[in-house]
Structure 1
Amino acid sequence: MRGTGMAAVVALAVLAPPGEARAQASNGNGIQGFLDNIFTGSIANDGQSASLAPRGGSEQTPSPPKRPASSAATAWSGEDGASGHPLMTAAAIRQAAANFSNCVAAMWPDAARRHITRENFERFTAGLSPDLRIMDLMDSQPEFTKAIWDYLDILVKDARLARGREILATYKPQFDAVEKAYGVDRYAIAAIWGIESNYSTQMGDRSVLQSTATLACVGRRQKYFRDEFLAALEILNRGDLRPEQLRGSWAGAFGPTQFMPTAFKRYAVDGDGDGRRDVVDNPADLIASTANNLKKDGWQTGRTWGYEVVVPNDFNYMLADRAKAMTLAQWEQLGIRRAGNKAFPYSADRAYLLAPAGAGGPGFLMLQNFRVFMKYNPAEAYALAIGHFADRLRGGSPFVQPWPRQERVLSRAERLELQQLLARRGFYRGTPDGQIGSRTREALRGFQASVGAPADGFASSDVLERLRRR
């Protein structure tokens, strides 16, 4: 979903839990836990690439919530992957699994080039075996999905907000120091912490070494995950984390704000000067590292992520595109108004219009910091949840305008049919896959414009019926 607009209901058809979506994104950055059973799948681009206490504890700093104990592993289905990739056939998976030990051993020269000692390589890879259940998770194709408003309801709720305010108060010294050093808004950091792991209570319980080793040797993304596996070995070799701390999602994202191993290498910092970068059990390191991540991705100090806006009835939704950024003053000239009749504080700031529920729901003007959230996780629904959660932690109000909750979520079969009908009429040029990405939304806008409907790119049941009738 990186770099694309999002039609609300179908957006969540392809939204993986944040930590796992980050693992699949091209930037290599790593909500899993309770979301694992709600949102599964992979990033859709229509065929395009897609709790804490300091170490040793402290009388001044509360201990973290306990990480959940490991649950019994679910066995691999033994079936071909839904992607159709040749490396995801059952036969290919079995063949790669049989060669797993040799595959891991063959990575020693690369590990040596990264200054991992032979002793540590042998120690950390001893007894590793492939977790083939990951193959099912990697290629899952959800039949039904959640609408964006349901996603926001799940993530931005009173209990999580209350816990977030406790976290902000408990770790106020750490947040103070990080805001001063990095210029990153504390509420944004606290929001990511809350959304990614429900404040360290749902971080995942899979071994990161086992997960990344499995994906480095089995399945369709071996080159990508080879780098993640070697980076995980580097983390252990350096002593930043212990093996028992390096647990997370099936894709290898770990810690309360879900770092992938390569992202840890780029962004993790020693926030308290103890010589380790512990983003799992040390609040100073966690907060500073997450801030460093956002800062290096282009965070603008003193600016918000975006604004809820009212879009006029006769608006040209062909302008609702990430590539069509304009100043806030220019948007105002087109009739866009900030919700609640508030003024835009910086009229020269550039933003793009997001209409995640089409013409029937609220609009949003998204600024640079929203794009930064999307670098953290390339899904606009996720970034919207982070921004809104941060605003609520700051004392802001819920969104002003209602969502079109009467809209029915399309099944995967219906999404495939919609793409096929658009292709038959010359609007869609991709390969139908049941995932609504930028090409499908562009095709939808073209079809909607051709029949005189608001060209909002929203894949509703109504537009599907129109396509069936033509």
Structure 2
Amino acid sequence: MRLKTNAVAIALIFSPITAYATGDWPRPVQRPEVIIKTTTGDIHMAEVQGASEFGNWLNGFRQRARAQGISDRVLNEAFSGISYNSDVVKRDRNQSEFTKQIWEYLDSAASDARISNGRAAVQKHGDVLQKIEDTYGVEKEIVAAVWGLESAYGSFRGSVPIIEALATLAFDGRRGAFFEDQLIAALQIVQSGDVPPSKMTGSWAGAMGHTQFIPTSYLSYAVDFTGDGKRDIWSDNPADALASTAAYLKGFGWTKGQPWGVEVGLPKGFDYLQTTERVKKSPQEWAELGVRDIHGKVVPDHGEASILLPAGARGVAFMIFNNFQVIERYNTADAYVIGVGHLADRIAGRPAIKSEWPRDERPLRITEKIEMQERLTKAGFDTQGADGIIGPNTIAAIKAFQNSVGLVPDGFASSTILKRLQ
């Protein structure tokens, strides 16, 4: 099951394909011997214990890797000189309690500098991006926007040794099953001859290259666009990485010519219970309910669409199409999808978002979101769990609660709603 968030967790916007960072993957019980506590002494003890057992874990993992076809040559090359990386574990633990509001994220995602750099990148790599668009049917601006958000157009690809990082996280056990799968995939990439272990670098969480693929996504979607016999997403030449991103989006159903979303205005008296991705109508049907674009015109028929209010009734409204869900396959946070889509629009010369955001709204802490979920459920509006992630079930519960007390049922998890529940 894929989960979604309307706010952006500061520490959770990774990359393709990094759905595990937003809670989509099972989280095995953490190994008690490597818990990182708060004092310097506790951290040091955890590091010593982790390092001492890491070698034993590697020996056991080698047997599992051999059973999946990884050769001793690759295992010896990949694990030569690696060690327990306590910094990776600390970064995995450092999940910020605070979140950014969507407008704060978009201020950065579609900043003037990122737009300018994106246009320059499209101009510099215009020929290859056009060939990619012609081959895969994914607009060059969308590919460039993903590139811009994932690595600032190749400027920050990450320098962490991927094999060591994944081995550490697989051993650590908090999300051990997921990271062991990624480690096996990384070894398969090495065994294919695409990249030696020493060149396989990226983020501490295992995302790699210009557009930050994790190993399993690389195996499924990476392509050799340059024709040199290797799927090289790490080199200074971004062609393979950009083509791989287009292949990924195409693989999940990208429709060329369909917008990800269109900014719209909602009429007075609009039924806000319909503002959910679970309600889909044609643009004409929405127009019959009074929904128009920001220029007052009926939105062209690009297929079935939903109305999204990422910041509630006081914020911007979007009519979103299937391509929105395709971008979600890269990262499930609404803010990320809007960031990619809006950045692509701006790179292509389309205007900035016109409506205002409720910038006086403060972000809720994760503990407050959990409290909200607990209070909603106790009040009879079941959120199907209290994990601090504002997904479809929680949004539906908020809507139902708002409707029951005469508030606009926009589903926005605000401090006002929490206070009302309290």
Distance 1:286 1:399, change over 3 A: same
User: Would the aligned equivalents of 1:311 and 1:362 in 2 still touch at CA under 8 Å?
Assistant: no
Amino acid at match of 2:289: L
Check 1:112–1:137 CA distance in 2 against 1; reply closer, same or farther (3 A cut). same
Q: CA deviation at 1:114?
A: 5.1
Tell me which residue corresponds to 2:30. Answer: 87
More RCO (CA 8 Å, sep 6+): 1
Relative to structure 1, the CA distance from residue 332 to residue 88 in structure 2 (aligned partners, 3 Å threshold; closer, same or farther) is farther
Within 5 Å, which residues of 2 pair with 1:48-197?
Answer: 49=25, 86-87=29-30, 89-90=32-33, 97-112=51-66, 115-197=69-151
Matched, 1:219 2:215: no
Q: Report if aligned partners of 2:210, 2:238 keep a CA contact under 8 Å in 1.
A: no
CA distance in 1, matches of 2:298, 2:54: 59
Among 287, 303, 311, which residue is 2:266 paired with?
A: 311
1:428 corresponds to: 382
Look up the SS of the partner of 1:163 in the other structure. Answer: helix
Q: Using the TM superposition, give the Cα deviation of residue 270 of structure 1 relative to its aligned residue in structure 2, in angstroms.
A: 0.8
Contact 1:13–1:435 (8 Å) recurs in 2? no
Matching residue of 2:350: 396
Matches within 5 A, 1:327-406: 327-346=282-301, 349-406=303-360
Q: Distance in 2 between matches of 1:118 and 1:451?
A: 65
Residue correspondence of structure 1 range 222-301 to structure 2 within 5 A:
222-281=176-235, 282-301=237-256
Distance 2:293 2:166 in 1: 45
Question: Does the 8 Å CA contact 2:265/2:293 hold for their aligned counterparts?
Answer: yes
2:12 counterpart residue number: 16
Deviations 1:241-287 (A, max 9, x none): 23343111121001110000111111111111111110121322122
Residues 15 and 43 in structure 1, CA contact (< 8 A), matched pair in contact too: no
Superposition deviation, residue 218 in structure 1: 1.6
Matched AA of 2:251: K
Structure 1, 336-345 or 397-406: larger mean CA deviation: 336-345
Which of these residues, 153, 161, 170, is aligned with residue 199 of structure 1? Answer: 153
Quick one: distance in 2 between partners of 1:208 and 1:18? Answer: 15
Report what 2:40 is aligned to: none
Structure 1, unaligned runs of 5 or more:
26-41, 51-82
For 1:175, the aligned partner's letter is L
Displacement, 1:146?
Answer: 1.1
C-alpha separation in 1, matches of 2:240 and 2:383: 47
AA of the residue aligned to 1:43 = T
Deviates more, 1:251-260 or 1:274-283: 274-283
Name the CA distance, whole Å, in 1 between partners of 2:261 and 2:308. 10
Tell me what 1:67 maps to: none
Compute the TM-score of the two structures, normalised by the length of structure 2: 0.90
CA contact (8 A) 1:97 1:217 kept: no
- The aligned counterpart of 1:31 is none
Identity among equivalent positions (%) equals 38
Name the structure 2 match of 1:53. none
* Partner AA of 2:189 in structure 1: I
Take 2:163 and 2:94, find their aligned partners in 1: how far apart are those partners? 22
Query: Hey, what's the Cα distance between the residues in 1 that align with 2:207 and 2:9?
Result: 21
Letter in 2 for 1:144: F
User: Aligned letter for 1:356?
Assistant: P
1:367 maps to a residue whose letter is: F
Please give the root-mean-square deviation of Cα atoms over the aligned residues, in Å.
2.3
Amino acid at match of 1:287: L
User: What letter matches 1:158 in structure 2?
Assistant: D
- How many residues are aligned here? 410
Runs of 4+ residues over 4 Å off in structure 1:
90-97
* CA apart distance, 1:328: 1.4
| Residue type of the alignment partner of 1:135 | V
Equivalent residue number for residue 76 of structure 1: none
Aligned equivalent of 1:322, options 273, 277, 280: 277
**Partners of 2:102 and 2:335 within 8 A in 1:** yes
CA distance in 2, matches of 1:447, 1:158: 39
Please give the alpha-carbon distance, in whole angstroms, between the structure 2 residues aligned to 1:418 and 1:90: 33
User: Does the aligned pair in 2 maintain the 1:167–1:190 contact within 8 Å?
Assistant: yes
Report the 3-state secondary structure (helix = DSSP H, G, I; strand = E; otherwise coil) of the residue aligned with 2:313: helix
Mapped pair 1:443 → 2:391: no
Mapped partners of 1:236, 1:355: distance in 2: 44
Deviation string, structure 1 residues 305-360 (Cα, Å, up to 9, x no partner): 1111112232222212222222111111222111222442325x111221001100
Deviations 1:104-128 (A, max 9, x none): 2333344445554322211111222
The change in CA–CA distance for 1:88 and 1:327 in structure 2 (over 3 A counts) is: farther
Give me the whole-angstrom Cα distance separating, in 1, the residues matched to 2:357 and 2:31: 39
What is the CA–CA distance in structure 2 between the aligned matches of 1:276 and 1:336, rounded to whole Å? Answer: 49
